[in-house]
Structure 1
Amino acid sequence: MQSNKNLFFITFFVYLKNKFIKPDTIQERSYQLNIAKSALKHNTLVVLPTGLGKTIIALFIIANKLENDKDKIMFLAPTKPLVLQHAKFLRDTLSIDPDKISVFTGEISPDKRKKMWEKSRIIVSTPQVIENDLLSNRINLKDVSFIVFDEAHHAVGEYSYVFISDMYRKQRREDRLILGMTASPGSDIHKIIEVCKNLEITNIEIRTKYDPDVRPYVHDLKILWKEIPLPKDFAYVIQLLRKSLSDRLKILKEMNVVDTSSVSLINRTKLLDAQKKIQSLIREEAKPSKMLFRAASIQSEAMKIYYALELIQTQGVNALKNYFQRMINEAGSKGSTKSVRTLASDKTILEVVAYLRSLDIEHPKVKEIINVIKRQLEEKPDSKIIVFTHYRDTSKYLVKKLENIENVNPVRFIGQAVKNGDKGLTQRQQAEIIKKFKEDTYNVLIATSVAEEGLDIPSTDLVVFYEPVPSEIRAIQRRGRTARKMPGKVVILITKGTPDEAYYWSAKRKEKRMRSELEMLRAKLGKELENPDVFYKKIIGEDNTQKTLAEFTEEKNKIKIIVDHREYHSNVAKKLVSKDVEVEPRQLDVGDYILSSRIGVERKNVDDYLNSLIDGKLFKQIQQLRDAYSRPIL
């Protein structure tokens, strides 16, 4: 019999039946119901990949509350577009009078909000508005039985979520329920625990795309990363900027505000730490010395040069030209800072500016973006594509390059803030662009970070990272824009030997650490979450030492050594790897190996040693090594 060859399968959607949910609107998924049942019993943090329906879990709990008590429900989200999106979803799915669902924004007068509060059953709002109304005693949370904190990873520091949760605890002492929702709470165990403490979380529900109850609803996601070579024409600009930065780092190291003068070892975090250290010293002294103010100015110069270096390496000539032009314009205006004026008249910087004018070359990423988009549209002409870039200048440049290509209809999607003369988009303009993207008027969205979090942007066939982002939260959010309703693809462009590489691996490490920290938090220490305050103190420690959860489980820490890329394939590097040492390749301007911020190693075999001794390079290398590290080793 051949009949088996003709068998085919039909998937039947089972819709959820509930008194307060409109018929045939919500598909029944077991993992969502299981999480909702658990979240009805405890204050819960839900960690679920983008596109798997965190909002539907909130809907199930809201429906239960509508049926079983008469109190108010609050749904909080970080931005107005997200608030409007959630309010529309609730009105479309809940079987209650739509007028009972109110949207609170800063555009509504306080008096009107007070009246709306009295008649509403569900309030959807940004947290800042609720915080203001609590501070002015216009509202009280004693009549609120359930609060949803969307994008709950924001519940740290001084963010409004923290204040609202604290007031909820004070104003409603019993029978209160909290649901925190996020695709990624971050990799730092201290931040995760801070979120749990601030929202009184006693239960964590985590699902990944590999969990058996989630797997049937997950579509395949193909992730490709493409190495892009740095053009040789950029080398002179990079050389000048590195020298300019190195000169300033040497001064800062002499002042003991940075631990290295090596350009290869410095990063944005270390420069920002130097700024904090200088500011702290200035505050401590009754009459701060001129040296401290000089240090502050030099740190600011170093920060700007570091930024310029990153621009030329990861964005290209156009972005760097615009940056320096703005700096020169600012230097001539009233109120400009000393660091801006100094750099705008610096001989090396002016040489860079002059050389940039002679360069008629764009970053090879631009050509790769064009090729990737053209290939995608050839394979699937009705594709929707998002290109993420960190910089507005790059987004503007990419739209200009793409708009003349056949079948490509690009549009720029940026935030509302005015930046460097760029007005940004109003919320109305943002909504119109998303609408036209859904309707296929546009098929390529060139977006900055505003498109990463929350907004109701349709699922896409392809997401391209113009550059990697070091934040695991942002990387997860970017990837979450595809493979929602169909298989998707992510392409990440990485310029070799630049911060792109460091950012890519940083995000991967953080994401891996986040998953393991969350799993350990749930599995090993879940019982102790019954008292979040005690648990928080246990993890953080009264002495505030920066222990990780892995250290609490006595996980062995790997040794890490940075190796110059020329040494990466040597027997030494291979031997280190065989000894379970983590080896990270990097382009080093001084030395061959970095063991710590204090120890740098220059390795030479006999022939290399003799040759460098004869041609006089050895003593120069030793001098550079001594300047860069407090414990140099040859």
Structure 2
Amino acid sequence: MEKEQVERFVKNLNLKSKIEVRSYQVETAISVLNKGNSLVVMPTALGKSYIALLITAEKARLGGRVLFLAPTKPLVNQHFKLISETLPYEVEVVTGSNPAKKRFYNAQIVCATPQVVKNDLKNKRLNINIFSLIIFDEVHRAIGNYAYSMIAEESKKSNALLVGFTASPSSERKKIEEICSKLSIENIEVRGEQDEEVKEYVNEIETEWEFIELPEWLKQLTKNLQNLILKTCEPLGLKNPSKRQLLEIRLATLSHLHHNPSGFKTLTIIAKAINLIHIAELLETQGLKTTIDFFNGMSKKKSKAVKELLKDDDFKKVIEKVASLIQEKKEHPKFDKLLEIVKEEVSKNHSVIIFAQYRSTVKQIVDLLEKNGIKARQLIGKSNSGMNQKEQVELIEQFKNNSFKVLVCTSIGEEGLSIASVDIVIFFEAVPSEIRLIQRRGRTGRVRAGRMIALISKNTRDEAYFWASRNKEKKMRKLLLKMKKNASVKQEEALKTEARKPVEEKTRELEKMKKVRLTDWI
């Protein structure tokens, strides 16, 4: 698209403040507006928010009302800020912080969390038909029973345009098909870092994988635990048990429980084994403190599986050993490596985001950095006495303003947060999900080149997760391009057929086409 065309399109939107948009963003927005319900897949930092803004602006210009959904409160506030600063329309935020009696949805553009909207639809406090556009940010969540699913189903009763945005839908065809089916997707827009129109805007992200050798004392500890896992799983006939195998056996056992009361014993064995495997994973990938914190939480439970574990002499020896190693000031070697990396980055005045799976690990990392004179803060979710929305938003603003250089996050920091100045992202552990790999990595390289470092314990689950996420990411890209091609071919065929028909037949066929879903084309 030529520069003049882009400028003309943007000028017609009546924006109250000037924004810089790229030709591929305008092309994508126009394609969505012309082709109907769409899935937009684009790497982070390529401006999905601006594409959503352009679509929102056009619908609002024509008098339509817009519902803009995002999965977390900080992300909702981020979208609210961009829209309210750019568009000349009333915008409001609706989240769980608003009491039900004060949620009115009166503004022309509403930015909201999906759980609140789901509850208000369910309790008849909201009529979805008032909206002509519904945007689902981080639409990869629209699977299973997540709130997006119910909202999308209700939206089918309206004439609203449904648009989903994500950097990473999934590498599994079934999950992408589920998303497309729920949103009645008619069009897929895919832009990648290698596409000609995008290349000039892509900032390089240097990726490094630090493989860390476990010390002998930690290898021996995990070996003892592995022997206990094998002993526990003997009655199940499993020689190399995994969580997936155990969950499959659990599901099968539950389905026949009313015919086989002895299945309760099997369920206890499975629960014990899953707890043991989880403890082994914590030892290998997180460290002693997080392991003992999990044990302390588990010990408070009253289940038969926990009671049997607490009586097991071999298990007690493992836990006693963990406690004694903590007293000896021993810890996973990842912490020393992490400290070394962060010290070097902070000395260069670089900003750092560290991701860790568990709150216990996040706290331990912050304590370690603070002890070594590095100003760091933790960003965690609201549940279990965590951080409320106001605290999260304030912390993110402080980090943006360089009040501190290191932000340590759980998964809440993975999705959508736009912090332009992040120089390096560090994964404390590998993640098995291609979605989480892409989301975490995308926190850097937004306005300049960035770095990503993942800490991986050698010959552990960390290493398996590392290969799994990389392979899934490649598979996802190939799958999306194939699906886009199939969708385009189907649209072209439909248009050619429609052009040859008499006017009356064209009208009937167009009505049918509105009901066609992408899953019919695959």
Between 439-448 and 125-134, the greater mean CA deviation after superposition: 125-134
Match of 1:296 among 267, 284, 301: 267
Residue 129 in 1 paired to residue 123 in 2?
Answer: no
Measure, in 2, the Cα distance between the counterparts of 1:63 and 1:141: 19
Match of 1:272 among 247, 256, 269: 247
Q: Is the 8 A contact 2:180 2:517 kept in 1?
A: no
Residue 313 in 1 paired to residue 284 in 2?
Answer: yes
Deviations 1:77-114 (A, max 9, x none): 11222222211211000023xxx21222234344443x
**Alpha-carbon distance change, 324 to 62 in structure 1, aligned in 2, over 3 angstroms:** closer
Match of 2:417 among 449, 455, 464: 455
Measure, in 2, the Cα distance between the counterparts of 1:227 and 1:452: 23
Measure, in 2, the Cα distance between the counterparts of 1:124 and 1:467: 33
Deviation for aligned residue 1:355: 1.9
What is the identity, as a one-letter code, of the residue corresponding to 1:363?
A: H
Q: Is the 8 A contact 1:461 1:487 kept in 2?
A: yes
**Alpha-carbon distance change, 392 to 134 in structure 1, aligned in 2, over 3 angstroms:** closer
Measure, in 2, the Cα distance between the counterparts of 1:89 and 1:235: 50
Deviations 1:328-379 (A, max 9, x none): 4x16xxxx1111111112100111122223323211111110111122223x
Deviation for aligned residue 1:171: 3.5
DSSP 3-state at the match of 1:27 = coil
Residue 243 in 1 paired to residue 227 in 2?
Answer: yes
Q: Is the 8 A contact 1:197 1:532 kept in 2?
A: no
Match of 1:101 among 86, 91, 95: 91
Alignment-derived partner of residue 37 in structure 2: 43
Deviation for aligned residue 1:510: 0.8
Measure, in 2, the Cα distance between the counterparts of 1:245 and 1:78: 37
Deviations 1:305-350 (A, max 9, x none): 000111111112222222223334x16xxxx111111111210011
Alignment-derived partner of residue 153 in structure 1: 140
**Alpha-carbon distance change, 138 to 411 in structure 1, aligned in 2, over 3 angstroms:** closer
Measure, in 1, the Cα distance between the counterparts of 2:515 and 2:142: 15
Deviation for aligned residue 1:247: 1.1
DSSP 3-state at the match of 1:460 = coil
Q: Is the 8 A contact 1:74 1:124 kept in 2?
A: yes
DSSP 3-state at the match of 1:376 = helix
Deviation for aligned residue 1:143: 3.2
Residue 415 in 1 paired to residue 381 in 2?
Answer: yes
What is the identity, as a one-letter code, of the residue corresponding to 1:431?
A: V
Between 530-539 and 409-418, the greater mean CA deviation after superposition: 530-539
Gaps of 5+ in 2: 1-5, 492-512
What is the identity, as a one-letter code, of the residue corresponding to 2:169?
A: P
**Alpha-carbon distance change, 278 to 459 in structure 1, aligned in 2, over 3 angstroms:** farther
**Alpha-carbon distance change, 226 to 36 in structure 1, aligned in 2, over 3 angstroms:** same
**Alpha-carbon distance change, 497 to 32 in structure 1, aligned in 2, over 3 angstroms:** same
Deviations 1:586-628 (A, max 9, x none): xxxxxxxxxxxxxxxxxxxxxxxxxxxxxxxxxxxxxxxxxxx
Deviation for aligned residue 1:240: 1.6
Q: How does 1:168-187 map to 2 (within 5 A)?
A: 168-172=155-159, 176-187=160-171
Q: Is the 8 A contact 2:427 2:455 kept in 1?
A: yes
Number of aligned pairs?
A: 491
Q: Is the 8 A contact 1:156 1:191 kept in 2?
A: yes
**Alpha-carbon distance change, 84 to 512 in structure 1, aligned in 2, over 3 angstroms:** same
Q: Is the 8 A contact 2:180 2:518 kept in 1?
A: no
Q: Is the 8 A contact 1:149 1:180 kept in 2?
A: yes
Deviation for aligned residue 1:466: 0.7
Match of 1:438 among 400, 403, 406: 400
Q: How does 1:286-365 map to 2 (within 5 A)?
A: 288-289=260-261, 291-328=262-299, 330=300, 336-359=302-325, 360=328, 361-365=330-334
Q: How does 1:112-123 map to 2 (within 5 A)?
A: 112-113=102-103, 116-117=104-105, 119-123=106-110
Deviation for aligned residue 1:235: 2.5
Alignment-derived partner of residue 231 in structure 1: 215
Q: Greater share of helix residues, 1 or 2?
A: 2
What is the identity, as a one-letter code, of the residue corresponding to 2:239?
A: S
Between 447-456 and 15-24, the greater mean CA deviation after superposition: 15-24
Match of 2:363 among 388, 393, 396: 396
DSSP 3-state at the match of 1:124 = strand
Deviations 1:385-435 (A, max 9, x none): 0111111111111111111224x21112211111xxxx3222222222212
Alignment-derived partner of residue 337 in structure 2: 368
Alignment-derived partner of residue 22 in structure 2: 29
Match of 2:352 among 373, 385, 405: 385
What is the identity, as a one-letter code, of the residue corresponding to 1:106?
A: G
Deviation for aligned residue 1:48: 0.9
Deviation for aligned residue 1:126: 1.6
DSSP 3-state at the match of 1:320 = helix
**Alpha-carbon distance change, 534 to 87 in structure 1, aligned in 2, over 3 angstroms:** closer
Q: How does 1:553-632 map to 2 (within 5 A)?
A: none
What is the identity, as a one-letter code, of the residue corresponding to 2:49?
A: T
Q: Is the 8 A contact 2:284 2:460 kept in 1?
A: yes
Deviation for aligned residue 1:456: 4.1
**Alpha-carbon distance change, 395 to 145 in structure 1, aligned in 2, over 3 angstroms:** same
Deviation for aligned residue 1:480: 0.4
What is the identity, as a one-letter code, of the residue corresponding to 1:20?
A: N
Match of 1:61 among 55, 58, 65: 55
TM-score (ref. length: structure 2): 0.89
**Alpha-carbon distance change, 373 to 109 in structure 1, aligned in 2, over 3 angstroms:** closer
Deviations 1:197-219 (A, max 9, x none): 11111111111111111111111
Q: How does 1:491-510 map to 2 (within 5 A)?
A: 491-510=453-472
**Alpha-carbon distance change, 428 to 511 in structure 1, aligned in 2, over 3 angstroms:** same
DSSP 3-state at the match of 2:157 = helix
Measure, in 1, the Cα distance between the counterparts of 2:284 and 2:146: 34
Alignment-derived partner of residue 218 in structure 1: 202
Deviations 1:158-189 (A, max 9, x none): 222222222222243xxx31211011101110
Larger radius of gyration: 1
DSSP 3-state at the match of 2:156 = helix
What is the identity, as a one-letter code, of the residue corresponding to 2:340?
A: N
Task: Indicate the structure whose relative CO is greater, using CA pairs within 8 Å and at least 6 residues apart.
Answer: 2
DSSP 3-state at the match of 2:165 = strand
Deviation for aligned residue 1:57: 0.6
Deviations 1:234-270 (A, max 9, x none): 13211221111001221122xxxxxx322xxx32222
**Aligned-pair identity (%):** 37
What is the identity, as a one-letter code, of the residue corresponding to 1:437?
A: F
**Alpha-carbon distance change, 107 to 375 in structure 1, aligned in 2, over 3 angstroms:** closer
Alignment-derived partner of residue 189 in structure 1: 173
Residue 261 in 1 paired to residue 261 in 2?
Answer: no
Measure, in 2, the Cα distance between the counterparts of 1:416 and 1:450: 10
**Alpha-carbon distance change, 532 to 212 in structure 1, aligned in 2, over 3 angstroms:** farther
Q: Is the 8 A contact 1:201 1:532 kept in 2?
A: no
Measure, in 1, the Cα distance between the counterparts of 2:518 and 2:55: 27
DSSP 3-state at the match of 2:134 = strand
What is the identity, as a one-letter code, of the residue corresponding to 2:40?
A: V
Deviations 1:47-90 (A, max 9, x none): 011121111111111221222x3231111111222222211211
**Alpha-carbon distance change, 440 to 296 in structure 1, aligned in 2, over 3 angstroms:** same
Match of 2:452 among 490, 495, 500: 490
Q: Is the 8 A contact 2:186 2:518 kept in 1?
A: no
Alignment-derived partner of residue 590 in structure 1: none
Measure, in 1, the Cα distance between the counterparts of 2:129 and 2:223: 63
Q: How does 1:516-555 map to 2 (within 5 A)?
A: 516-528=478-490, 536=519
What is the identity, as a one-letter code, of the residue corresponding to 1:277?
A: A
